[in-house]
Amino acid sequence: MPRLTINGRTITVEPGTTLLEAARCAGLAIPSLCYSKGLPHFTSCMVCVVQDKATGRLLPSCSAVATEGMEVETDTHDVRHARTGSLNLLMSEHAGDCEAPCTTTCPAHMKIPLMIRQIAAGKSGEALDTVYDTIALPAVLGRICPAPCEKACRRGRIDAPLSICLLKRFAADEGVASPFSTGQSAVPTKNKVAIVGAGPAGLAAAFYLARAGHHCTIFDDHAQPGGQLRHGVPAPLLPAAVLDREIDHIRQLGVIFRMNTRIGKDVAFQNLKAGFDAIVLATGKPSTETLNSWGVITTSQGIKVDGHTFRTSEENIFAGGEVVQAGHLAVRAVAHGKSMASSIDQFLTGLPVTGPTKRFESRLGKISDAENQELLKGAAPSSRITPCGGSGTGFTQDEAIRESQRCMHCDCRKAEACKLRDYMEAQLTGPMHIPAEGRKPVERNLTHPRIIFEPGKCILCGLCVRITTQAGEKPGLTFLNRGVDAVVGVPFGASLEAALGQSADRCVKECPTGALAWNHS
């Protein structure tokens, strides 16, 4: 049995064990995009390289077999350079957005296409869960949001953008969310958070903090909560009853509202600092005098915060909404609320305060008209629907479903299950950016009843080719062409359905990117 050393640790493995498997035995995870246990190795992605100490050579660990006395390093400069090099090259030709333009444009980063798919499937409850994931006040924003997302919608280039805001309103008004997403199943902690200001930023912070089990008290000098939502929006646009309903919901989560209470007058700021573990400042634009009374560093804009964590110069004081950034966008205030809640939750649980998870995003950038037509495949040709009840009303179920069928689903179905994205995220500090002007064209194959195949996202790892070959699928998938034109395709003009055969599930599961994905997830 060969004995080898990996990163200075000596282990003994069965003869024939590959370096990748040996490293895993030693508890070391080696990234790989083309390896799968049980399939013949293929050595294509070259992300799994390790360095042989004796020769300095880089070896693909998925294929190189451990030999007696071998010394291997998995985290040298050369290894990192080679791995990042291969990943950057794969990204340089990757034709796909991780998130759709609507999502990346939305200040709250809402997963809009997912919500739309859920509405289309008649699952308005799940759709509302999706909205709640980023937006604490769905019914309110379903009525007043200026919807920057709709300006980014690629359907707008075809005829008119999706009616995203009204679809969100439909989910909020008609959907029954799960206890988790509404915060009803939260397990209480002992942490107390004071929130100054009952406007959209403060309410959103309270919602997500309460959902995480923290005890929140909101202070506001008005008689009723809502801030600008109550006092700055005309009633026909946002009826008080809708606002009250969402505030009631937050109240039911155990959030205490102390109205008619002005900090610095009725309650001293020092008392907040003494009585609470963390403080949220979401007062809207206050006077300079008030700003100074909080003892945090300010700028001409307002309170100075970290742009991602919303932490002020004081480690337990966070600020968001108009108090840090001018502008009346409620959706941005709500987004700040969620970000503050993420940071405070990290702070209270003793984790490093990094704010909400910021994911690596593959971006297509400008796409051609032909590519836009590719993305249009599968979308209903009907034109944008306006509610039959006239302006100011929402969609009926039928209208919502028909409108949602217009969505082009520009997002990646496997945005959360993509190894390429995960690895890029882990190695964001690549040595050199490779311009992506030579990327593959956007292409969608929807001929399979359940699967979407996007060749532009294929990294030619050959897993699906090997899976279908091993399973004896006729004809299976194969490689076509050479060089950079090499593609995975269906041979002899057969259908994708026939090529994948009984192996379809496994191929989708093992595909390391969104090249093969379930169409309706």
Partner 1 sequence: MIIAAYAVGASEGILYIRAEYPLAIRRIREALARLEARGYLGPSIMGGAFSLSLRIVEGAGAFVSGEETALLASIEGQRAMPRFRPPYPAERGLWGCPTAINNVETLAMVPWIIRNGADRFTALGTATSAGTKVFSLTGKVQRGGLIEVPMGITIHEIVEDIGGGTGTNRAFKAVQIGGPSGGCLPASCGDTRVDYEALAAAGCIMGSGGLVVLDDTDCMVDLARYFMTFTQQESCGKCTPCRIGTKRMLEILEKLCAGHGKQGDLERLEHLAQTTRTGSLCGLGRTAPNPVLSTLRHFREEYAAHQAGRCPALKCRALISYRINEKCIGCTKCAQVCPVDAIDPAPYQPHFIQQDKCTRCDTCKQVCPVDAIWIGDTDQQPVTGAGDPCRD
The answer to the question of residue 42 lying near partner 1 (CB under 8 A) is yes
Q: Are 318 and 305 in contact (CB under 8 A)?
A: yes
Nearest C-alpha neighbor of 171 from the set 206, 143, 207:
143
The answer to the question of residue 434 lying near partner 1 (CB under 8 A) is yes
Task: Give the interface segment with partner 1, choosing from 59-67, 197-205, 282-290, 398-406 (CB under 8 A).
Answer: 59-67
Pairwise CA distance, residues 99 & 83, whole Å = 24
Q: Are 230 and 240 in contact (CB under 8 A)?
A: yes
Q: Cβ of residue 420: shortest distance to partner 1, in angstroms?
A: 11
Among 4, 46, 442, 463, binds partner 1 (CB under 8 A): 46
Task: Give the interface segment with partner 1, choosing from 265-273, 393-401, 412-420, 477-485 (CB under 8 A).
Answer: 477-485
CB burial string 377-387: b at 16+ within 10 A, e below = eebeeeeebeb
Q: How far is CA 87 from the centre of its chain?
A: 20
The answer to the question of residue 82 lying near partner 1 (CB under 8 A) is yes
The answer to the question of residue 391 lying near partner 1 (CB under 8 A) is no
Among 31, 60, 302, 356, binds partner 1 (CB under 8 A): 60
Among 179, 391, 484, 493, binds partner 1 (CB under 8 A): 484
| Coil/strand/helix, residue 521 | coil
Closest CB to partner 1 among residues 17, 182 = 17
| Coil/strand/helix, residue 316 | coil
Closest CB to partner 1 among residues 42, 257 = 42
Q: Cβ of residue 459: shortest distance to partner 1, in angstroms?
A: 7
Q: Cβ of residue 512: shortest distance to partner 1, in angstroms?
A: 12
The answer to the question of residue 373 lying near partner 1 (CB under 8 A) is no
Beta strands in 288-430 (DSSP E): 317-319
Task: Give the interface segment with partner 1, choosing from 155-163, 187-195, 351-359, 430-438 (CB under 8 A).
Answer: 430-438
The answer to the question of residue 54 lying near partner 1 (CB under 8 A) is no
Where would I find the H helices in 212-297?
A: 228-231, 240-252, 269-275, 288-293
Residue with tokens 């929140």: 216
Residue type present at position 433: H
Among 17, 36, 74, 86, binds partner 1 (CB under 8 A): 86
The answer to the question of residue 16 lying near partner 1 (CB under 8 A) is no
Nearest C-alpha neighbor of 225 from the set 192, 249, 190, 191:
249
The answer to the question of residue 32 lying near partner 1 (CB under 8 A) is no
Among 11, 39, 65, 498, binds partner 1 (CB under 8 A): 65
The answer to the question of residue 485 lying near partner 1 (CB under 8 A) is yes
Q: Are 155 and 382 in contact (CB under 8 A)?
A: no
Q: Cβ of residue 64: shortest distance to partner 1, in angstroms?
A: 7
Task: Give the interface segment with partner 1, choosing from 205-213, 379-387, 480-488, 500-508 (CB under 8 A).
Answer: 480-488
- The strands making up 192-196's β-sheet, listed across from edge to edge, are 256-258, 215-219, 192-196, 278-281, 317-319
Among 85, 148, 156, 254, binds partner 1 (CB under 8 A): 85
The answer to the question of residue 45 lying near partner 1 (CB under 8 A) is yes
**Rg, Å, the chain Cα set:** 27
Task: Give the Cβ contact number of residue 45 at 10 Å.
Answer: 27
CB burial string 174-199: b at 16+ within 10 A, e below = bbebeeebbbeebeeeebebbbbbbb
Beta strands in 220-324 (DSSP E): 256-258, 278-281, 317-319
Closest CB to partner 1 among residues 45, 229 = 45
Q: What is the DSSP string of 480-501?
A: ESSGGG-EEE-GGG--HHHHHG
The answer to the question of residue 475 lying near partner 1 (CB under 8 A) is no
Task: Give the interface segment with partner 1, choosing from 142-150, 309-317, 401-409, 457-465 (CB under 8 A).
Answer: 457-465
Among 278, 353, 460, 504, binds partner 1 (CB under 8 A): 460
Q: Cβ of residue 28: shortest distance to partner 1, in angstroms?
A: 20
What is the x/- site pattern for partner 1, positions 101-140, by CB under 8 A?
Answer: ----------------------------------------
Closest CB to partner 1 among residues 113, 462 = 462
Question: Nearest 5°: CA angle at 395, between 392 and 398?
Answer: 160
| Coil/strand/helix, residue 240 | helix
Closest CB to partner 1 among residues 96, 113 = 96
Q: Are 270 and 289 in contact (CB under 8 A)?
A: no
Q: Cβ of residue 486: shortest distance to partner 1, in angstroms?
A: 3
Task: Give the interface segment with partner 1, choosing from 43-51, 158-166, 271-279, 414-422 (CB under 8 A).
Answer: 43-51
Q: Cβ-count burial of 92 within 10 angstroms (0-12 exposed, 13-18 middle, 19+ buried)?
A: middle
- Interface with partner 1: number of residues (CB under 8 A): 38
Q: Cβ of residue 364: shortest distance to partner 1, in angstroms?
A: 17
| Coil/strand/helix, residue 445 | strand
Closest CB to partner 1 among residues 46, 255 = 46
Q: Which residues bind partner 1 (CB under 8 A)?
A: 41-47, 49, 58, 60, 63-65, 78, 81-82, 85-86, 89-90, 92-93, 431-432, 434, 437-438, 459-460, 462, 478-479, 481-486
